[in-house]
Amino acid sequence: MAADPRTVDVPVRRLGRWLEGFADRHGQYVVQRSDGPDGPDRWQATAADGSVAVIHGPAWSGLFGDVPDLTALGASEPAFGVVLVRRAGYAVGSFVGSRAVQRKVGTRHIHGRTAAGGWSQQRYARRRGNQAEEIASAVAATASRLLGPAADATIPAAQFLVTGGDRPLVAAVLAQLEGPAADLRVVAHLGIGNPDAAVLAGVPDRVLAVAIDIIDAG
């Protein structure tokens, strides 16, 4: 009897190595496309011992038409932009695969609530709203610049956008994007802590990853 399935996330650049390990553990496997209602990019690897691994293509893979096989998926290096915003700051970057092309990290703190009421509370709410608008405008200007055409013509333009952090702030930023950045489709929104350089650097492995459902044969 097969065990209950479990799911792991594997960066696409490590997919080939993961499949080698799957074969070492369960024997050689046969791959078949297993298309379903949630999108075409899905493959089922059935090993010699009956274990199964279902590999789900990431959300962005559907933007570029049909991905022919797992080798092509593992070699994927899409160009994409990242916009992360929270009250404490922001991080914006452009990537080709896992390589950062441009990035900007800044701190623009929005104060928390105040216990005062009446006019003090109203003035505070207006000031806090103004701070949020200023941050959104500043981040949008940065993103529009960094995600526009690169000075180096050999660097591909961003093909999609990934966001993270405070959803209302992110929405305000997206509404103010200009140029090519304004036309980018958002394919994922990530939960993050404070958007610093380390968080930004970790985004590619989260975005360029596949979910693999594993069912081990009993």
Claim to verify: residue 47 and residue 83 sit in the same structural domain: no
CATH classification of the domain holding 171? 3.30.420.60
Claim to verify: residue 44 and residue 85 sit in the same structural domain: no
Claim to verify: residue 32 and residue 87 sit in the same structural domain: no
Q: What is the pLDDT along the chain (218 residues), one digit of tens a residue?
A: 456 789 999 998 899 999 999 999 999 999 988 665 555 578 999 999 999 999 988 888 777 666 667 888 888 889 999 999 998 889 999 999 999 999 999 886 555 554 455 445 555 455 555 677 888 999 999 999 999 877 677 788 899 999 999 999 999 999 999 999 999 999 999 999 999 999 999 999 899 999 999 998 86
Residues contacting 184, CB < 8 A, separation 6+: 81, 147, 158, 159, 160, 161, 177
Claim to verify: residue 87 and residue 66 sit in the same structural domain: no
Residue span of the structural domain in which 50 resides: 6-76+208-215
Determine, yes or no, domain membership for 86.
yes
CATH classification of the domain holding 65? 3.30.160
Number of domains in the chain: 2
Claim to verify: residue 30 and residue 133 sit in the same structural domain: no
What letter would DSSP give residue 132? H
Determine, yes or no, domain membership for 1.
no
Q: How far apart are CA 104 and CA 189, in angstroms?
A: 19
| Contact between 160 and 186 (Cβ < 8 Å) | yes
